[in-house]
Amino acid sequence: MGRARVLLADDHAETLRCWHTLLEPEFEIVGSVRDGHALVEAYDLLSPDVVVTDVAMPLLTGLVAAETIRRHDPAARIVFATVHADRMMLRRGLAAGAYGYVLKFRAGEDLATAVRAAVHGEIHISPFPPLAISPDVA
């Protein structure tokens, strides 16, 4: 089998360049898009093995785009990469069928691992930062 084919989606060009740099040595990057509608269209055209998408994007969120893609292709492998270190958002991502949930500040450590896991049908979740506890609460 050749390199896994990956489609990237984020509304920030710099983030897309970063992800491309992190993933390209191991995976074939088949495209990158900047909104959820373009993600759904590109998925249909390119048939990637894995999608890496931000949760929040213009026109259609990454969550809604992932749900749309999975309705048409239940075997789709989605990895969310987000700034949201929020367990509720994590649950929403997993409910949308995600195989990965990577915190953007950990992309260097976790993104390739999450894509690799998704290719193999496994789930990878970035470690969440510890909760800050006020000394007054303790």
Q: What domains does the chain contain, in order, with CATH numbers? A: 10-55+66-84+96-124 (3.40.50.2300)
Mean pLDDT, residues 10-25 taken together: 97
Residue 127: pLDDT over 70: yes
Q: Which residues, other chains included, contact 53 with Cβ-Cβ below 8 Å and sequence gap of 6+? A: 8, 9, 10, 36, 39, 62, 65, 66, 78, 79, 80, 81
Q: How far apart are CA 43 and CA 93, in angstroms?
A: 18
Q: What pLDDT shows up at residue 84?
A: 87
Digit-coded pLDDT (tens) for 77-102: 999 999 989 889 999 999 999 999 99
Say if pTM beats, i.e. exceeds, 0.85.
Answer: yes
Q: How far apart are CA 76 and CA 58, in angstroms?
A: 22
Distance of CA 126 to the CA centre of its chain: 11
* Helix, strand, coil percentages for the chain (3-state, nearest 5): 40, 20, 40
Residue 103: pLDDT over 60: yes
Mean pLDDT, residues 111-137 taken together: 84
Residue 115: pLDDT over 60: yes
| Beta strands per DSSP E along 3-137 | 5-9, 28-33, 50-53, 78-82, 98-103, 124-125
Residue 47 backbone phi and psi in degrees, to 5: 45, 60
Digit-coded pLDDT (tens) for 34-83: 999 999 999 999 999 999 999 989 889 999 999 999 999 999 999 999 99
Q: What is the mean pLDDT of the chain?
A: 92
Residue 135: pLDDT over 70: no
Residue 31: pLDDT over 50: yes
